Chains A and B, each alone.
Chain A
Amino acid sequence: MPQVLTTLLLIFVPLSFVTIGGGQTIVADVHRQVVDVQHWMTASQFLDLFAISRMSPGPGSLLVTLIGWQVGGIAGAVVATFAIFAPTAVMTFYIATVWDRFKGARWQRIIEAGLKPVAAGTVLASVWVLLQSLDGGWPAQVVALVSTAILVMTPVNPLIILSAGALAFVTLHAFAA
């Protein structure tokens, strides 16, 4: 295996175990490894890749795929993606099998009842944080709240809501310019 692929594995496998949430937790360390330690790219090249990953749909940690592709082509992209997703996937898989084996058990119903209010709190809190850090000021907050109301009250396809939000901002931008 070429040196660069081994290095990608050695960097991203350990990082996969400290990835929590949407993958934003490891961005700073990925930056340090890729720019400062390995000198694979400049800070501004890294920022470009980061911007593309923010713009693209799908899991946020696909930033790692882009880095792999940049330094090792197709093989690099495959190895980097594998390194960031596979190790923790195996772990989650085993926990899921154990959970399923005891489905309906009393302890599981207790855990589910206990986790529900905590999950509600975390979801609402992350929305709260996002609402405050949103680019686009009050129009963005209006779009978020109107989207919420429509999604709560109707079974609309979310893609329509996303497109409408995008269209609203493109229109705003066109008129402001």
Chain B
Amino acid sequence: MNTPDPAPTAAQLFLIFTRIGLTSFGGGLSGWLFREFVQRHRWLTEEEFVSGLAICQTLPGVNVSNMAIWIGYRLRGTVGAVASTIGIVVPAAILIVLIAVVFSELTQIPLLHAGLVGASAAAIGLSLSMGIAIARRLPRKVLPLGIMAATFAAIGIFHLPLVWVVLVGGGLSILLSALTQA
């Protein structure tokens, strides 16, 4: 349980990202990635994943494809980054066009809409469980817990833009972490 699985091949990375790209109904994609790469296979430590997530959130570009590049490169170099990105984008892109061609009336079916609302609600659970897992592992000290609470309030309650919160809050937090570790 505590030993990581052998590092994935590029083909494995492609298949995992494809599977997530094709089954992640209702969003919550980073929660999927966390569960797969950190919790299930232990290919990445929580620290690696979380700092990658924070960096990918501030970089321009779609979060998930940034994460695919980040994780793929970390685990299997350039080939891994390419395989992961193609895996998360291409099969889902083909599927969405097929859905549009064949099933565009589907969006009008109330029962299907209800099912999708239920899946989205459950997908929130995926994100929240990731948030809890990360929060639980924070050092029980005033500084990290205070920074987490301030970040939460800035985005969740005061609705400040995510990028600025991560840039300013993250910058301050890194500075404090440098000072306390010196």
Contacts from A to B (Cβ < 8 Å)? 16-23, 48-49, 51-62, 65-66, 69-70, 77, 81, 84-85, 87-89, 91-93, 95-97, 99-100, 107, 109-131, 134-136, 139-141, 143-152, 155, 158-159, 161-170, 172-174, 177
Q: Would you give the shortest CB distance from A59 to chain B, in whole angstroms?
A: 5
**A-B interface, 8 closest residue pairs, ranked by CB to CB distance from nearest:** A121-B151, A147-B125, A58-B92, A88-B61, A165-B122, A169-B118, A114-B174, A125-B156
Residues A158 and B31 in contact in the complex (CB < 8 Å), given A57-B24, A170-B118: yes
Residues in chain A near residue B63, CB distance under 8 A: 21-22
Point out the residue from B35, B115, B166 that lies within 8 Å of A170, measured CB to CB: B115
**Residue contacts A-B, CB under 8 angstroms, 11 given:** A51-B107, A57-B92, A87-B61, A92-B61, A113-B47, A114-B176, A122-B162, A123-B30, A124-B148, A147-B122, A147-B129
Contact indicator B51/A115 (Cβ below 8 Å):
yes
Tell me how far the C-beta of A128 lies from the nearest C-beta in chain B, rounded to whole angstroms: 4
Q: Are B40 and A118 in contact (CB under 8 A)?
A: no
B16 within 8 A of A: no
Q: Is the CB of B60 within 8 A of A19?
A: yes
B10 within 8 A of A: no
B169 touches A118 (CB 8 A): yes
Q: How far is the CA of A81 from the CA of B91 in the complex (A)?
A: 12
- In the complex, which of the residues B88, B97, B116, B181 contacts A59, with contact meaning CB atoms closer than 8 Å? B88
Interface of A is mostly: helix
Does B121 lie at the interface of the complex (its beta carbon under 8 Å from any beta carbon of A)?
yes
Are A85 and B122 closer than 8 Å at their CB atoms? no
Per-residue CB proximity of B121-143 to A under 8 Å, as 1/0?
11111111111111100100001
CA distance A17 to B163 in the complex (A): 13
Q: Are A66 and B97 in contact (CB under 8 A)?
A: yes
Q: Which residues of A contact B104 (CB under 8 A)?
A: 48, 52
- With A85-B65, A100-B73 already in contact, the answer to whether A120 and B148 are too (CB < 8 A) is yes
Instruction: Point out the residues of chain A lying under 8 angstroms from B117, CB to CB.
Output: 134-136, 140, 169
Q: A62 to B92: give the CA distance in the assembly, Å.
A: 8
**B32: Cβ under 8 A from any A Cβ:** yes
Whether A115 pairs with B122 at a CB distance below 8 angstroms is no
CA–CA, A167 to B116, complex, Å?
9
Chain B residue numbers with a CB within 8 Å of A95 are: 55, 59
Asked if B38 is at the interface (CB within 8 A of a chain A CB), the reply is no
CB-CB under 8 A for A127 and B25, given A21-B63, A120-B138: no
Q: Do the beta carbons of B173 and A159 come within 8 Å of each other? A: no
Contact B89–A59 (Cβ < 8 Å):
yes
Contact A116 B96 (CB under 8 A): no
A127 to B134, CA, bound (A): 14
Q: Which residues of B contact A120 (CB under 8 A)?
A: 50, 131, 134-135, 138, 148, 151
Residues of B with C-beta under 8 A to A129? 155-156, 159
Taking CB atoms, residues of chain B closer than 8 Å to A66 are 96-97, 100
Q: Does A166 contact B118, Cβ atoms closer than 8 Å?
A: yes
Assess whether A77 is in contact with B93, with CB atoms less than 8 Å apart.
yes
Q: Please report the C-alpha to C-alpha distance between residue A53 and residue B85 in the assembled complex, in whole angstroms.
A: 19
Contacts of B39 in A (CB 8 A): 155
Query: Which of B69, B81, B124, B144 has the most C-beta atoms of chain A within 10 angstroms of its own C-beta?
Result: B124
